[in-house]
Amino acid sequence: MTEAAIRIIDLAKTYAGGKQALKGVSFDVPRGQIFGLLGPNGAGKSTLINILSGMVNKTSGTAEIWGFDIDRDARNAKGSIGIVPQEIVFDPFFTPLETLENQAGLYGVPKSQRRSMELLRAVHLDDKANAYARSLSGGMKRRLLVAKAMVHSPPVLVLDEPTAGVDVELRQQLWAYVRELNRGGVTVVLTTHYLEEAEELCDRIAIINHGQLIANEPTRKLVGMAREKVVEVTVDRDLATVPSSPFFDKIELKGERTVVITYNKDRLNAGGVLAALQGEGLGIVDVSTREADLEDVFLNLTRAVNG
């Protein structure tokens, strides 16, 4: 038994046809966290999730869920995880209530322990309990999938791109519910290609790109890893030529008196930028800096891997 909620070692997948979707990925998802698996479209996120759910067969490597090996202890592994797939697939002939009852039956949850209405209330679908599934909007269907993933009360909930096609208000409701589950002890893994979403929700973020893990850090540390900083400076006279410094990575004129300077924070700080401008005889009128966000980190890391 490991202490990790999910442990993945050297996981690889080559699809029939030769596409190498995962090239040997290893990481742990610590128990109790909201963990983000971030990466652009085609990175291999769904492949990884679908291996955990048993929908895709891995080519090599191992995976454990709550200490249970997905091959040797498939039944317990499956029972420990609830998965909300990226693709919405529903039987249109069942109502939301029936959908949850069927799923509970599939997982062998005794009638006395079922809590279908409670789950529907939690995802704000109790008024649709007996509606036709086909009458639900895209956002409602996705919330129903979240409830469906929770019928057997798994300790780990995985959501694959949960906010695709969900409007802003419902997204907030979905996140509120996810946070509530997490506070109740459920480990949450979500994949997304939205950086802000991962940054806002996740304790820890792993980034995959082209089937390889390129980062796995606490969110705060990852954000701090952004090395490029940008500062916008307004000076006291029109700039005939663009001032230069060997320490700037890039400098652009934005207006007659405003320049946008990109620098590497390992080599320089904003004070150094201003000193360099003053060294050119320019007076500083106004300064604004932009805080590094995940976008910067992501671009830096993917650039480093690709080039």
Under the criterion CB under 6 A, does residue 19 sit at the interface with ligand ADP?
Answer: yes
Binding partner selected for residue 19 from ligand ADP, Mg ion, none, CB under the kind-specific 5 to 8 Å limit:
ligand ADP
Query: Minimum distance from CB of 167 to ligand ADP (Å)?
Result: 22
Which residues in 21-40 contact ligand ADP (CB under 6 A)?
21, 39
Total binding residues for Mg ion by CB under 5 A? 3
Nearer Cβ to ligand ADP, position 17 or 307? Answer: 17
8 Å CB contact between 77 and 152 = no
8 Å CB contact between 84 and 119 = no
Query: Minimum distance from CB of 201 to ligand ADP (Å)?
Result: 18
Query: How many Å apart are CA 195 and CA 193, to the nearest integer?
Result: 6
Under the criterion CB under 5 A, does residue 46 sit at the interface with Mg ion?
Answer: yes
One-character DSSP codes across 34-92? EEEEE--TTSSHHHHHHHHHTSS--SEEEEEETTEETTTTHHHHHHTEEEE-SS----T
- The residue to which tokens 């698996």 are assigned: 37
Under the criterion CB under 6 A, does residue 85 sit at the interface with ligand ADP?
Answer: no
Query: Minimum distance from CB of 41 to ligand ADP (Å)?
Result: 4
Nearer Cβ to ligand ADP, position 47 or 116? Answer: 47
Nearer Cβ to Mg ion, position 86 or 300? Answer: 86
Residue 169 has which token pair?
A: 């208000």
Binding partner selected for residue 271 from ligand ADP, Mg ion, none, CB under the kind-specific 5 to 8 Å limit:
none
